Amino acid sequence: MPALAVDAATPVAHAFASCDAARFPAAPLMATDKPEAAAWSADLSAALYNVDGWGAPYFFVNDDGDVAVRPHGAATLPGQEIDLAKVVAKAAGPRQAGGLGLPMPLLVRFPDVLRHRVETLNAAFDYAVRSTGYGSRYQGVYPVKCNQDRYVVEDIVEFGEPFRFGLEAGSKPELLLAMSCLVARGNPDALLVCNGYKDDGYVSLALTARTMGLNTVIVLEQEEELDIVIEASRRLGVRPVVGMRAKLRAKHAGHFGSTSGEKGKFGLNAAQILSVVTKLKAIGMLDCLQLLHFHIGSQIPTTALLSDGVGEAAQIYCELARLGAGMRVIDVGGGLGIDYDGTHSAQTDMSVAYSLEEYAVAVVAAVGRVCDRKGVPHPIVCSESGRALVSHHSVLVFEAFSATAPGQLDAATAYLLDELTDDCRADYRNVMAAAVRGDYDTCGLYADQLKRRSAEQFKEGVLGLEHLAAVDAFCEIVARGMGAPEPPRTYHINLSVFTSLPDMWAIGQQFPIIPIQRLQERPAVDGVLSDLTCDSDGKVCEFIGGRHSLPLHELPTHATRGYYLGMFLGGAYQEALGGLHNLFGGPSVVRVSQSDGPHCFAVTRAAAGPSCADVLRAMQHEPEVMFEVLKQRTDDATAASLARAFGAMPYLVFDPEAAVMSGGESSGMSSDSEGSAAGAAEEDDDEWEFMRGLTV
């Protein structure tokens, strides 16, 4: 510790009264500092958050400083853009003001974006087929595991019908929903690809789908599944169409490459492929083998790796054709990546170094090149590009309801520094002396020593809690005065990371998160996000672009609406993977379509998220019985409040009117006395009507 001759017994004649960050000698201006008086604009916010990088062609910042949506991509006309902040105002606004009264958080789906994704994917492969002179066609499938929501799957089948677009299932319930949707809405030629591990029940269900006229292909993930297929087909009298997943040598690095290569979870190696061919040939069913499937890995980073893997698989396809299999389709699996951070690079799992069109050309060209060399007719090219289809179509909107404040010392608290022990007061005086000299290194060393010494003396009972708080605030002011960056402030969000952003917690996936309004104002606060759960992992402190904090605005006062953030590109996997940690369920959901109305959109479907009763039922509790037990210990007015609590969503509600609107609609609770509810509060009548229906 640098020596400074200071007499600790000398009275501190409250020098601190004049010691705040503004009175420190000016620290050198850092290259990253921006004068606060500089003008700000929506365009600067768009650049700061790289919206044009990850959001094109669907998301942009409009002149009002709100995030807006181009529902038809680049083909969206002026006047068709949808202001996301206005959608939230409509969905979460009070009913008497024309809103829907939905509780937050809110998932906003844009089926027009989904349609555009389906059309764009098929257009890219159509261009690739035409530009390379390919001798067959593209016919994709949507892997329903990416998002099994009923309306998402139905939309994709409907939008994909002109393209013979089909579905892929990986489990029995997924197969059931795929069968139902394709029978009701699908093109008769659409593929139904059956992946995943299989037993007799799964295989029998897939064969039953063939009897319904569905173009079903049973893909072998393991060699022993062939025996199950043969036995079930004989028992049911249905001749199967079989595919197999090949385990390639090609793989890529990073998290998403762990499912590929020779040590991948799925697929047959060369010896197993030959064994399947031998068995099928021996029983006269080699013509049933018609599809080759493989998976290089999700988020394939480059077209070079893609071409290498597709080329290897095409060689296997041609060998199977040479051996006499009735090959028709090569299924390149998933892997078409999303540019989550907008860098258009191959350096991390958060981006890819190609466009959709470049991906399609690389696939088609690689297959055609190998087949031409081997003299094999070009197969139908299939892909399972689920992430690329659904990621853009939804936005999760949530509210930041409070934030930590920077340390401050008022005059009364500052005088507590005079009551410190002699050695602490000596450190304090040395800090002040070094600050006056502009010796910031020495100042920082003494400030750290003061903080450590005060903490030790607090633990020994020498100093009180008030003294500890005063020292902490003083040291924070010293750090700011020396030009040290202010540590990020914690913004508390009305959300569960585990429920709505599971990939962020589980695998470190990063999604674009930005404010959806006030982007014409400078976001002058660096913040991190902390969720509602009682878990230290329930936070977001890593953001796209390598940031460890997110530029945010000061929160509005309580007299105004909330401060809303949006998480983008999360339409794949997050809903199905989300859990019920702390019994926080999913968000409210609205479907929003472009229309010719005054705000360019129409809400075509709206539903509140799971209630407290719903999440309790999911864990085998019986809310109706719980309510009956509890109401025996209270009066009728409190029973009505309990019923509303069961019917409300688990998330926080800060608008009293919204709390009433969100309660009771799905709880199933009721009172034994209709009059008692009316006596409790006349305005509760409507809520009791929602709750009436099940009495235990």
Write the pLDDT tens digit of every residue in 63-113.
999 999 999 999 999 999 999 999 999 999 999 989 999 999 999 999 999
d(CA 653, CA 278): 64
Quickly state the pLDDT bin for 199 (edges 50, 70, 90): very high
pLDDT value of residue 255: 63
d(CA 346, CA 306): 12
Chain Cα centroid distance, residue 328: 37
Residue 655 in 3-state DSSP? coil
- Report whether 363 contacts 381 (CB < 8 A): yes
The burial of 107, by beta-carbon neighbours within 10 Å (0-12 exposed, 13-18 middle, 19 or more buried), is given as: buried
Is the per-residue pLDDT at 611 higher than 60? yes
Give backbone dihedrals phi and psi of 594, rounded to 5 degrees, phi first: -70, 135
Query: Taking all residues of the chain, what is their mean pLDDT, rounded to a whole number?
Result: 87
d(CA 589, CA 600): 19
Residue 606 in 3-state DSSP? strand
Torsion, CA 404, CA 405, CA 408, CA 412, rounded to 10: -70
Is the per-residue pLDDT at 305 higher than 90? yes
Which pLDDT tens digit goes with each residue over 420-471?
A: 999 999 999 999 899 888 898 899 999 999 999 999 999 999 999 999 999 9
pLDDT value of residue 263: 67
Point out the least confidently predicted range of 68-77, 339-348, 658-667. Answer: 658-667
Q: What is the CA radius of gyration of the chain?
A: 31
Quickly state the pLDDT bin for 349 (edges 50, 70, 90): confident
Point out the catalytic residue in the list 146, 475, 534, 541.
Answer: 534
- Report whether 641 contacts 627 (CB < 8 A): no
pLDDT value of residue 260: 64
Secondary structure of 536-604 in HEC code, one letter for each residue: CCCEECCEHHHECCEEECCCCCCCCCCEEEEECCCCCCHHHHCCCHHHCCCCEEEEEEECCCCCCEEEE
d(CA 24, CA 20): 7
- Report whether 358 contacts 369 (CB < 8 A): no
- Report whether 156 contacts 186 (CB < 8 A): no
Is the per-residue pLDDT at 413 higher than 90? no
pLDDT value of residue 696: 25
d(CA 148, CA 153): 6
Which pLDDT tens digit goes with each residue over 12-60?
A: 333 333 344 444 444 443 334 444 446 999 999 999 999 999 999 999 9
Which pLDDT tens digit goes with each residue over 234-252?
A: 999 999 999 999 999 887 7
Quickly state the pLDDT bin for 348 (edges 50, 70, 90): confident
Q: pTM, whole model, 2 decimals?
A: 0.87
534 is catalytic: yes
Residue 309 in 3-state DSSP? helix
pLDDT value of residue 415: 80
d(CA 467, CA 463): 6
H runs (alpha helix) in 375-417: 386-390, 411-414
pLDDT value of residue 80: 96
